[in-house]
Structure 1
């Protein structure tokens, strides 16, 4: 899945217009993008090991922090004008899809943990492991989650919505350049672009890992375009681009080399259970060297999946809070306009 090739950075703070942006706003933007760069770089594992539940915890925690930071920038650092009905409608559409994906991920994490509960039941008596319990676990793990099956379609529509809203934000007020409003909007739009790219990509990796299909993974192009044909060095750049491309290329290389997507911790448990199943099916009792490490792995996997779910809930709540803030600003705008008309 490829994100739109149109360069959304073309109209965002080109070098020849940077002089029009106040030092305060440029400082806010630089600090935000520096933090974003560091957060993306931290998601590139040193050993290139994808996808582990530990990485998923880190990635979702990082997303939650990024969304909290952009919320602070929108509501505290930058004195934004009241939103319009169109902006409110666009953000409502986009955020609803983000929440839908968060819900899908949470439901899949719960499904995986239900499988772990079945294993804990099956392993309650090591000397009497029941094949019927293991068969129940097998059937459960083979089941499909409709919400995850639909995640690719939601991602595609999210790409379209975000691209449309970004384009609207860039070009709706071209006649008001060099105003304070123009400065604030362009700074915010550029910051939001980075948040969108990071969010979309990590969500696509989660969707691919949960569905077991790399077709859900986005490939996001961040092209450089020359603003002035007579000035070859006058190009738009974002400081987080290099870190993001390193992350994206490493994940893509790993997935393509293995031709499918897996969550390593889950696969390790599944492999261990199948070994136990084969032993029990033969009428033997699993030895402690096989059984005890497997039980420990199941316990650790449950704890880590709970942490992913916790971080996903954090992101869900952060998006909800941002929606509430946006709607409150819109309500205040209407009340002010009504008061003025009276």
Structure 2
């Protein structure tokens, strides 16, 4: 794993904050009286979900597989909540909503690409666990020669050091660029109160999504260039979740930076512990020592790691389903609008196609 290089902060919007007009000093000043409670509930839940990812006492809890599972589950929960917010706003199917559908469709498509990349890497890591289990089973066979045992252990190391995901940085960068594009193509007409609430909520969701996926990308790729440092505009100083987000980002980025500087085997602490066990076992085999104790300890660690990777995969799959479901629901509303405008029921073959968007 390469050492960390000097990278400038990855500013969320280098060309300025496209949501600046949504964050006056009095945050709800331009929002209609019946909407602040919806926005407040959403942002309170967003703040709490971010705070739950900040370890209370033990910084070592960060970048464990368990923490990654919680981070992915938290992201899934946030994407469910934005759909709940849309339902609560009861937005009419209008040209303005067309625009929001366009925004979410572009963002969610890139998120799906990232989730697919993460799932592939988790599969690769789990395959490494299978190789190590096989090596340990051979070591338990007294007839297995020392050279063969060492060869199996080395095959695990080679697999774990093999090519990792590499396309996440490009996807993350394109996500930022697409958000800039949406900013420049904002409708000229003024946003309604409901539109402001939704756009402000989407901003919070996008910040959290970008950052957590950049952490996963950095961890899985072994490259600090995928790690974002997102700046929060001054206009958002009073937004509930901003302080919690900056605290989480500072803590996690420091942990990742330390891991890269130390030239560790991996950023994932659980996997680092397994690698340490493999080293000890490797030495024991070379020295002809009793390997039973090392094998038993390592078997337990590998089993636990496999279970935890499975949980991360499960949460990643849940996020995929949530995002796909949200995309389908939004497109369904848009499709209904087209049917109403045309005064016809569109052919079933087209309706099937739309769910695959």
What is the TM-score normalised by the length of structure 2? 0.83
| Alpha-carbon distance, 1:83 to partner | 5.7
| Alpha-carbon distance, 1:204 to partner | 0.5
**Structure 1 spans left out of the alignment, 5+ residues:** 226-234
| Alpha-carbon distance, 1:236 to partner | 6.1
| Alpha-carbon distance, 1:13 to partner | 4.6
> Counterparts of 1:30 and 1:137 in 2: how far apart (Å)?
50
Alpha carbon RMSD of aligned pairs, Å? 2.2
> After TM superposition, what 4+ stretches of structure 1 lie above 6 angstroms from structure 2?
none
What is the TM-score normalised by the length of structure 1? 0.87
Q: Which residue of 2 aligns with 1:325?
A: 329
Is the 1:8–1:166 Cα contact (8 Å) retained in structure 2?
yes
> Counterparts of 1:323 and 1:104 in 2: how far apart (Å)?
19
Is the 1:9–1:236 Cα contact (8 Å) retained in structure 2?
no
Task: Name the CA shift for 1:236/1:138 in 2 (closer, same or farther; >3 Å).
Answer: closer
Matches within 5 A, 1:77-226: 77-82=88-93, 84=95, 87-128=100-141, 130-145=149-164, 148-166=165-183, 168=185, 171-174=186-189, 176=190, 182-225=192-235
- Deviation sequence 1:83-128 (CA, Å, 0-9, x none): 6555544433321110010011111111111111111111125433
Q: Which residue of 2 aligns with 1:228?
A: none
Matches within 5 A, 1:8-47: 8-15=18-25, 18-46=28-56, 47=58
Q: Which residue of 1 aligns with 2:353?
A: none
**Structure 2 spans left out of the alignment, 5+ residues:** 1-9, 345-357
> Counterparts of 1:48 and 1:239 in 2: how far apart (Å)?
23
* Higher alpha-carbon deviation: 8-17 or 150-159: 8-17
Q: Which residue of 2 aligns with 1:62?
A: 74
Matches within 5 A, 1:246-325: 246-260=247-261, 262-288=267-293, 290-325=294-329
- Deviation sequence 1:176-223 (CA, Å, 0-9, x none): 46xxxx000000010111110001100000111111222211111112
Task: Name the CA shift for 1:256/1:139 in 2 (closer, same or farther; >3 Å).
Answer: closer
Q: Which residue of 1 aligns with 2:65?
A: 53
- Deviation sequence 1:260-307 (CA, Å, 0-9, x none): 56000011101211221232234444141x222211110000000000
Is the 1:99–1:319 Cα contact (8 Å) retained in structure 2?
yes
> Counterparts of 1:16 and 1:113 in 2: how far apart (Å)?
50
Task: Name the CA shift for 1:223/1:19 in 2 (closer, same or farther; >3 Å).
Answer: closer
